[in-house]
Amino acid sequence: MSRFTLTAAITSGTIVLSLILQLIIDRSFNLLHFYNTVFMVSLAILLIGLMLYVVKGGFFDVFTRSFKKFWRMLSKRSLYQSEVMDDSHFSLSQRIPAYVVTSFIASGLFLVIVTMIIAFFL
């Protein structure tokens, strides 16, 4: 999946989720409340993207490596496992693709800006 299609899917999913939330909460459709709901959901998407950006930057790699080392020291089973197989040094920042991070940030930022412009002109 390319970055553009993922961004489009997140954007359209955010709008559909906002519409469903609007219909569940108000049981009717009000355009102003819909824009407010889109704004709040897109802020959540933007925060998820920024959180993924921090994880992708490697901030938590040191913590996860330290916890793995600590649990290896406490467990006797790890002594036997280390003889059989090598330990993986796969860090947390390598598990998240960069295009996922940029897609979440781009989608959230786009919807926040659009809803702010719409709210300004209403």
Q: What is the pTM of this model?
A: 0.79
Which token pair is 59? 């901030």
- Tell me the per-residue pLDDT of 74-121, one tens digit each, with 9 for 90 and over: 776 655 555 545 456 667 788 889 999 999 999 999 999 999 999 898
- Tell me the per-residue pLDDT of 14-45, one tens digit each, with 9 for 90 and over: 999 999 999 998 888 888 889 999 999 999 99
Whole-number pLDDT of residue 15: 95
What does the alpha-carbon distance between residue 22 and residue 69 come to, in Å, rounded to a whole number?
Answer: 47
CB 3 within 8 A of CB 102: yes
